[in-house]
A and B are shown apart, each in its own frame.
Chain A
């Protein structure tokens, strides 16, 4: 029976399912590397972006200008170019290869990708948070002032928590973009999810199998991310939804007439 199924798939399937199944453990390993790279970049980039966003939302021109330049540079150039410049570009300079940073960090494709991705997502997240901070409702700030909150206390207790919450839906897009952007890692020899797909295609001279398998796994990851954010948004943004919508769930079908 098993033989017959394999025979059938071998002869009739438009894609080589048996080959994919045989190498599926490699794909899972690739998915893990993709997740690790994306996750770490988002964490590092997120941490960098918070102080930068506060500076961008403030009105100190001496601090604002360099941060603006940073976000403009990283949002204005493709991630592929940034990654290539760090991986292939920096390696061309002898003095960089002689620094202590070369052997443990810059000579490794993994760290080059992590640096490029972290800075890239930091730039996007900075602008996203800045938008969220400057649109904090005036009433909340005035109330905090009236209660005698100091500047930093107001920032910590009122502005930032509110800004983080309101940035959440847009940030879920950034997470998904970063996941998709992480395929750039495969161009600098990292065997991420797409890297494994390209390895399979290259090893067996195939056109689709590696890409299709990778694509399906990316879809699954994105589904999990957006589900996760939906739950998160429901929890943290509950106060912004119309009260009725939270209490009464709209029912489906005929039952809805009874509402």
Chain B
């Protein structure tokens, strides 16, 4: 009996503590931190980038305290479902396949995907031109979906982070890489390591794989949060906050048409 009493009071205490944290209403945001210029980690450990600033602007708009939680890319959706955080703001494209598991806000930006290869590689972006070539990309992205659907004959080389893809492209372990064009431009082509590389072929797009753009993911039961996020995206678009952040990173409007 004594144990039961202790147990009851303990669980009551836990309940009260739990309620306390709900009232503080932190918005826990899953972010990546290895995807410049959208998110990266400074040497002192602070997170920087377009996604990070958008997340903070959204939290400010919702008047909730932002708690940024870093998560490896391929565990992002599982971590959201396991309630490690409440939303993902990490350049995650809205796709049908992901919608089976999570809900998305409206898009907050949309940029095309492109191939990058060494200057003068003469790489031809076609089924036969890419057959047997080693193409690097980040595992668990819309680009993996696209490559497997459109170019089944390429040798896909899968990496955990986009940074690793660029590293191996720079030293010639892969023939080309396929990713978001902005991420490739700012994260690689404009850096010293990427000076001998260029975009090859035009924009690559497949509606089923790439979807309408990047959105903020929430659990399916969290319709309230999804609606709040949508309102907040509209608000920061309307009051100029979005444009200010946009201008810091890009010389054109990445919201897309």
**Interface membership of A199, Cβ < 8 A:** yes
Of the listed stretches A125-133, A137-145, A151-159, A201-209, name the one at the interface; the rest are far from the partner chain: A201-209
Count of A-B contacts judged by CB separation below 8 Å: 53
* Contact A107 B172, CB 8 Å, known A202-B144, A203-B148: yes
**Interface membership of A51, Cβ < 8 A:** no
For the complex formed, measure the closest distance between the CB of B144 and the CB atoms of chain A, giving whole angstroms.
Answer: 6
Taking a contact as CB atoms under 8 Å apart, the answer to whether B98 and A199 are in contact is: no
Question: Which of B101, B144, B145, B171 is A97 in contact with, Cβ under 8 Å?
Answer: B171
How far is it, in angstroms, between the C-alpha of A223 and the C-alpha of B141 when the chains are bound? 35
**Interface membership of A24, Cβ < 8 A:** no
Residue of B whose beta carbon sits closest to that of A203: B144
**Interface membership of B164, Cβ < 8 A:** yes
Taking a contact as CB atoms under 8 Å apart, the answer to whether B145 and A203 are in contact is: yes
How far is it, in angstroms, between the C-alpha of A2 and the C-alpha of B140 when the chains are bound? 31
A69-92 contact mask (Cβ, 8 Å, vs B): 1 or 0: 000000000000000000010011
**Interface membership of A187, Cβ < 8 A:** yes
For the complex formed, measure the closest distance between the CB of B135 and the CB atoms of chain A, giving whole angstroms.
Answer: 12
Tell me the residues in window 43-102 of chain A with beta carbons closer than 8 Å to chain B beta carbons.
Answer: 88, 91-92, 97
Taking a contact as CB atoms under 8 Å apart, the answer to whether B167 and A205 are in contact is: no
**Interface membership of B48, Cβ < 8 A:** no
Question: Which of B81, B101, B136, B139 is A199 in contact with, Cβ under 8 Å?
Answer: B139
**Interface membership of B159, Cβ < 8 A:** yes
**Interface membership of B160, Cβ < 8 A:** yes
How far is it, in angstroms, between the C-alpha of A73 and the C-alpha of B100 when the chains are bound? 47
Tell me the residues in window 114-154 of chain B with beta carbons closer than 8 Å to chain A beta carbons.
Answer: 136, 139-141, 144-145, 148
How far is it, in angstroms, between the C-alpha of A187 and the C-alpha of B82 when the chains are bound? 23
How far is it, in angstroms, between the C-alpha of A83 and the C-alpha of B167 when the chains are bound? 15
**Interface membership of B66, Cβ < 8 A:** no
How far is it, in angstroms, between the C-alpha of A158 and the C-alpha of B77 when the chains are bound? 59
Dominant secondary structure of chain A at its interface with chain B: helix
How far is it, in angstroms, between the C-alpha of A207 and the C-alpha of B144 when the chains are bound? 17
Residue of A whose beta carbon sits closest to that of B92: A205
How far is it, in angstroms, between the C-alpha of A20 and the C-alpha of B100 when the chains are bound? 17
How far is it, in angstroms, between the C-alpha of A109 and the C-alpha of B81 when the chains are bound? 33
Taking a contact as CB atoms under 8 Å apart, the answer to whether B158 and A92 are in contact is: no
Question: Which of B74, B77, B82, B173 is A91 in contact with, Cβ under 8 Å?
Answer: B173
**Interface membership of A189, Cβ < 8 A:** yes
Taking a contact as CB atoms under 8 Å apart, the answer to whether A201 and B140 are in contact is: yes
B75-93 contact mask (Cβ, 8 Å, vs A): 1 or 0: 1011001100000000000
**Interface membership of A166, Cβ < 8 A:** no
Residue of A whose beta carbon sits closest to that of B97: A205
For the complex formed, measure the closest distance between the CB of A218 and the CB atoms of chain B, giving whole angstroms.
Answer: 19
A201-228 contact mask (Cβ, 8 Å, vs B): 1 or 0: 1111111100000000000000000000
Chain A positions within 8 Å of B145 at CB level: 203
How far is it, in angstroms, between the C-alpha of A207 and the C-alpha of B77 when the chains are bound? 8
* Contact A205 B158, CB 8 Å, known A91-B167, A91-B171, A198-B139: no
Chain B positions within 8 Å of A198 at CB level: 74, 139, 158
For the complex formed, measure the closest distance between the CB of B80 and the CB atoms of chain A, giving whole angstroms.
Answer: 10
List the 8 closest A-B pairs by CB distance, nearest first.
A202-B140, A207-B78, A202-B139, A91-B171, A189-B157, A202-B74, A205-B98, A205-B77
Contact surface of A with B, Cβ cutoff 8 Å:
88, 91-92, 97, 107, 109, 187, 189, 191, 195, 198-199, 201-208
18 contacting pairs across A/B (C-beta < 8 A): A88-B167, A91-B173, A97-B171, A109-B173, A189-B157, A189-B158, A189-B159, A189-B168, A198-B74, A198-B139, A201-B74, A202-B141, A202-B158, A203-B145, A203-B148, A207-B77, A207-B81, A207-B82
